[in-house]
Amino acid sequence: MFRNFSRRLKRIAFSLLILQCFWLLNGCAQQHAFISSNGIESAKLDALSQQLEAQGWKVTLTQLEIPREFPDTSIAINPAQQNQYAIEQLIALMQELRFGEPHIFKFAEGKHFYSINNIGLYIRGSQPVSMPPSWLRSDNCEEGDALLSLKSAGSVTLEYDPFDADLEQLNSYQGRWLFDGETLNVHIMEHQQDYICKEIMRKTWRGYSPAQLFTPLKEVEFAPLNCHFIIIEAE
């Protein structure tokens, strides 16, 4: 009887040890912040991302829409999240950057569900959103024909027909855009491109017409984002 009781104690002690190790591993695991924003200055968003990364976080900027029912600053976590220090660290940084006191949601399922070491951060700002043209076509692009469809909610659809494809095909990609009236930022998958907007006159069959030319500021791996884009009035 004493031997059975001793074995039972050993099993309980072993189970507690395993559970403690799990808690320690969970607490030490790298936290991953998924940031969804709307109407936030790029410089402020960059500062948040850089400071989180400096503190050991992994950061991903998402293309998720912020639900209307979410307060302007919200955090979504898994109900089983045990790393309270990470939450406090994130809240302190948000307050330091003057994003406001975040409201915390706990989701066990659904679109805004995150696994234990992942945290969703939703930030809605009051920065006026300048509207770019609703669509832009590529302008003499060496890579292929491309069309950007820019929606008022901040989403963008890129349709791309590469010249070097064996068969004629139209590829479609979804992403997000930001526009401050001068620079258009397009974020598709993990690729981002900035375009400077310039008012020009372009010769058409009717004569010269006003146009807006969007010129890429860098070269990225995703070829269609290296195209120039244009819209010509009364084309």
Q: What is the CATH number of the domain that holds 146?
A: 2.40.128
Tell me the per-residue pLDDT of 100-156, one tens digit each, with 9 for 90 and over.
889 999 887 766 788 888 999 999 887 655 678 889 999 999 888 999 999 876 889
Q: Among 83, 101, 124, where does a domain finish? A: 124
The answer to whether residue 55 is domain-embedded is yes
Range of the domain at 35: 31-124
The answer to whether residue 139 is domain-embedded is yes
Same domain, 139 and 228: yes
Reduced to 3 states (helix: H, G, I; strand: E, B; else coil), residue 34 is strand
Q: What is the CATH number of the domain that holds 91?
A: 3.30.70
d(CA 171, CA 60): 24
Number of domains the chain contains:
2
d(CA 38, CA 85): 27
* pTM: predicted TM-score of the whole model, two decimal places: 0.51
Q: Are 63 and 187 in contact (CB under 8 A)?
A: yes
d(CA 87, CA 75): 9
Q: Among 102, 124, 146, where does a domain finish? A: 124
Same domain, 120 and 147: no
- At residue 212, the pLDDT reads 93
d(CA 171, CA 190): 17
What is the CB neighbour count within 10 angstroms for residue 150? 20
Structure token digits, residue 183? 């620079």
Q: Are 36 and 114 in contact (CB under 8 A)?
A: no
